[in-house]
Amino acid sequence: MSPGRVNREKVRIVLHRPRFPENIGAAARAMRNMGLRRLAVVAPENFIEARVRMMATHVAGDVVDAIARFDSLAEAVADCGYVVGTTARLGGERQAVVSPPVMAQRLIAISRENEVALVFGPEDRGLTNQEIRLCHALVNIPTDAFSSLNLAQAVMVMCYEVFTARTTKEGGSSPRLATRHELDGMYATLRDILVRISYINPENPDYWMNRLRRFFTRMQLRAREVSIIRGIIRQVEWYARKNFEDGLKEGRRQAAGEE
Ligand code: SAH
């Protein structure tokens, strides 16, 4: 690993629900050209190995051999401290979008200590809003009026930027960020306690949780900070339970005194 470049060993390409095996193969080849080797495929519509290998050619046979298969996107990125979604479409929840070279620069520091995923959506509809909520940041490849690139070509653009990004800055290493798994555990306990203390509406907890997710995502929480937040939630739970039990005891004592 050279300090002024992206640490490619920590970067994986994730193809979410790809429909065409040829695109998986062509993505593997693009990765191999740019020195990336870790390819994860989530719930492919068709994984026909001969068609994957035909496009990967002998060049990327090893990338195909090592493909990691997952049933869900959450599992494919669970150990990642930084998840980058790619999108052809903008607007709505897709607000804070950066260009590929800007993202690649950012990854130089992040990839020193953290597992990074670059996530690509299915050919027909791209990533859903739900899937985008798993991402810390979004990248859009600028295009002319027609914005949707072929999946494997979009992979190539990102791999090229990751390969060529350079910095002369010293020491720009970022701390270990909380993994997706740690963050999701925190969100689950946070949601539970916020419903119980009636801060959020149990009928529609996702509305508020999505806002909180966006807020925490902007802060790029470190692993240690997630432990602090989880510790606070546990303490609030303990305090609420204790007060409740003390109240019951007090009630019983008063009732006994009155007899
Ligand atoms: N019709 C879909 C495009 C899917 S293309 C849509 O409108 O979103 C398949 C995938 O290739 C996308 O999910 C994204 O991961 C990637 N991709 C295609 N064009 C892109 C672009 N201009 N910028 C970033 N990613 C792009």
Per the structure, the complete domain to which residue 244 belongs is given by 180-258
Whether residue 104 contacts residue 165, with contact meaning beta carbons closer than 8 Å, is answered with yes
Helical pair 205-219 and 180-196, crossing angle rounded to 10 deg: 140
Last residue of a domain, one of 134, 164, 194: 164
Which of 15, 87, 120, 160 has the most ligand 1 atoms within 8 A of CB, as the residue to mutate? 87
Q: Do 41 and 135 lie in a common domain? A: yes
User: Which residue has 């590929």 as its token pair?
Assistant: 100
Phi-psi region of 75 (alpha: psi -120 to 50; beta: other; left: phi over 0): alpha
Q: Does residue 1 lie within any of the structural domains? A: no
Q: Do 44 and 153 lie in a common domain? A: yes
Last residue of a domain, one of 114, 134, 164: 164
Whether residue 14 contacts residue 118, with contact meaning beta carbons closer than 8 Å, is answered with yes
Which of 86, 102, 134 has the most ligand 1 atoms within 8 A of CB, as the residue to mutate? 86
Q: Name the residue among 222, 17, 10, 35 with its Cα closest to residue 117.
A: 10
Token code pair at residue 96: 């804070």
Per-residue pLDDT of 210-241, as tens digits, reads 889 888 988 889 999 999 999 999 999 899 88
Residues with a CB atom less than 6 Å from ligand 1: 86-89, 120-121, 123, 125-127, 139-141, 143, 147-149, 151, 154
- Residue 219: which CATH number? 1.10.8.590
- When divided into structural domains, the chain yields a total of 2
Q: Does residue 143 lie within any of the structural domains? A: yes
Listed range (18-22, 37-41, 238-242) with the worst mean pLDDT: 238-242
* Nearest Cα residue to atom 9 of ligand 1: 123
User: Which residue has 């920590």 as its token pair?
Assistant: 10
Q: Do 160 and 212 lie in a common domain? A: no
Q: Do 186 and 121 lie in a common domain? A: no
User: Which residue has 């068609």 as its token pair?
Assistant: 51
Per-residue pLDDT of 71-99, as tens digits, reads 999 999 999 999 999 999 988 877 779 99
d(CA 128, CA 135): 11
* Nearest Cα residue to atom 5 of ligand 1: 123
Token code pair at residue 90: 């903008």
Q: Do 148 and 202 lie in a common domain? A: no
Q: Do 82 and 12 lie in a common domain? A: yes
- Residue 61: which CATH number? 3.40.1280.10
Whether residue 161 contacts residue 186, with contact meaning beta carbons closer than 8 Å, is answered with no
What pLDDT score does 35 carry? 98
Going by the DSSP 8-state scheme, the letter that residue 222 receives in this structure is B
User: Confidence class of residue 100 from pLDDT cuts 50, 70 and 90?
Assistant: very high
Q: Which strand (E) or helix (H) includes residue 65? A: helix 61-65
Q: Does residue 70 lie within any of the structural domains? A: yes
Q: Does residue 248 lie within any of the structural domains? A: yes
Phi, psi at residue 56, to the nearest 5°?
Answer: -70, -30
Q: Do 26 and 51 lie in a common domain? A: yes
For residue 171, pLDDT over 70 is answered with: no
Q: Do 133 and 190 lie in a common domain? A: no
Token code pair at residue 45: 């519509």
